[in-house]
Amino acid sequence: MKIGIVCYPTFGGSGVVATELGMALADKGHEVHFITYNQPVRLDFISHHLHFHQVLLEEYPLFQYQPYELALSSKIVEVVEKYQLDVLHVHYAIPHAYAAYMAKQMLIEKGISVKVVTTLHGTDITLVGSHPTYKTAVEFSINNSDVVTAVSNDLKKTTNRLFIIKNNIQVIYNFIDTQKYDKAHQQKCNRAAIAKPDERILTHVSNFRPVKRVEDVIKVFYEVHKEIPSKLLLIGEGPERSKAENLVNKLKISNDVLFLGNSSEVTKILCYSDIFLLPSQTESFGLAALEAMAARTPVISTNTGGLPEVNIHGKTGYLSDLGDVTEMANNAISILKNQETLEMFKQNAKEHTKRFSLDNILPIYEDIYKSCYKKQDL
């Protein structure tokens, strides 16, 4: 099949899922066309079935804000027409589902029919999408998509609570290429470059937005560090970074906290992590937690949103109420202080990710595309 994928090309979870999905589809022989403003960060062009079409914006003095949706929908029309795409899969409702709807209408005028699959990822619903500024257009775009999917049961429930949705939202969990993590685990993990042999390594990966509560990450680490020799690795960039640095300095733990910035080597970094911290205000799914678990890292997280569907309390890690840094620290200590317990949690975390393997999830998306294709033929 010929599939168009519209996504954010950044390190954020929705872009990562879209890119990994596109690459996996190309590996299976589908022709995949990414349509976005930059080349997706995780995209590597090892397959000749992969194409990237950049959405370019024109500067004009009148525009305070450049009309990205207009440029995107024009580009979608161009690509669908030129490459005769069968289906468009848009990740993150804002503004992708809206742009896809507009493109679809323009294509109808040209006698071309294309189906639109929209995948809701979380903040497009919970934090941004339901805001009165966007709500009407987001609800309209969801209701006018041919298929709507959400990455967790919790996100489906939240979408139905916040919007009046006519379609049945299909839940398709995010996935992980387990083989990629197995390979990374087999390669030599250069742990000595980061920590001394008796030190534990705690890790956090995010876009450092307020929703991630990076200060809670540091507070949890501070408590753990008092009891157990340890290092904290912070991967990512974002608006809360300087606040986080200030707190690290204030708590006088800067020698043991490493800010590593954005990285495309997360798999390698996770290979020497002992605990992953994700104390988010909300997470529709928590792909970062799943990636950590695939790398045999137990997760200490909040119990918000879809996190309980990914992290199993007492098995793959622990879940706590939002802001309960003391409990999170105690849970981390209880895992870290005993090597056997740590090994058991590591094993459980790895085992649990099998149900989210790419091999299980990819056919579900393919079936959705096929069903769109059939609808089109009628």
Candidates 11-19, 165-173, 261-269, 358-366 — which segment interacts with ligand GMT by CB under 6 A? 11-19
Residue 230, interface with ligand GMT (CB under 6 A)?
no
Task: Tell me, residue by residue from 172 to 191, as one string, x for binding to ligand GMT by CB under 6 A and - for no binding.
Answer: --x-----------------
Residue 282, interface with ligand GMT (CB under 6 A)?
yes
Using alpha carbons only, give the angle 41, 42, 44 rounded to the nearest 5 degrees. 110
Interface positions, 91-150, toward ligand GMT (CB under 6 A): 92, 121-123, 126
Query: In this complex, which beta carbon is closest to ligand GMT, that of residue 239 or of residue 314?
Result: 239
Query: In this complex, which beta carbon is closest to ligand GMT, that of residue 284 or of residue 297?
Result: 284
Give the shortest CB-79-to-ligand GMT separation in angstroms: 22
Residue 302, interface with ligand GMT (CB under 6 A)?
no
Give the shortest CB-287-to-ligand GMT separation in angstroms: 3
- In order of 5, 50, 140, 337, 347, the CA distances from 17 in angstroms are 11, 16, 24, 34, 24
Rounded distance between C-alpha atoms, residue 280 and residue 79, angstroms: 38
Give the shortest CB-131-to-ligand GMT separation in angstroms: 14
First to last CA, the chain: 17
Query: In this complex, which beta carbon is closest to ligand GMT, that of residue 207 or of residue 311?
Result: 207
Nearest to 40 by CA among 61, 23, 15, 63: 15
List Cβ neighbours of 11 (8 Å cut-off, separation of 6 or more). Answer: 41, 207, 236, 262
The residue whose two tokens read 């742009």 is: 99
Give the shortest CB-306-to-ligand GMT separation in angstroms: 7
Query: In this complex, which beta carbon is closest to ligand GMT, that of residue 285 or of residue 345?
Result: 285
Rounded distance between C-alpha atoms, residue 141 and residue 136, angstroms: 9
Query: In this complex, which beta carbon is closest to ligand GMT, that of residue 191 or of residue 209?
Result: 209
Number of helices followed by number of strands (H, E) in the chain: 14, 13
Residue 209, interface with ligand GMT (CB under 6 A)?
yes
Strand order in the sheet with 169-171: 50-54, 31-36, 2-6, 87-91, 115-120, 147-150, 169-171
Q: DSSP string of 45-90?
A: --STTEEEEE------TT-SS--HHHHHHHHHHHHHHHHT-SEEEE
Query: In this complex, which beta carbon is closest to ligand GMT, that of residue 205 or of residue 253?
Result: 205
Nearest to 115 by CA among 24, 6, 3, 192: 3
171 near 146, Cβ under 8 Å?
no
Give the shortest CB-250-to-ligand GMT separation in angstroms: 26
Candidates 215-223, 245-253, 278-286, 318-326 — which segment interacts with ligand GMT by CB under 6 A? 278-286
Residue 4, interface with ligand GMT (CB under 6 A)?
no
CA R_g for the chain:
21
Residue 9, interface with ligand GMT (CB under 6 A)?
no
Interface pick for ligand GMT out of 9, 22, 286, 298 (rule CB under 6 A): 286
Binding site for ligand GMT (CB under 6 A): 12-15, 17, 92, 121-123, 126, 151, 174, 207, 209, 211, 282-287
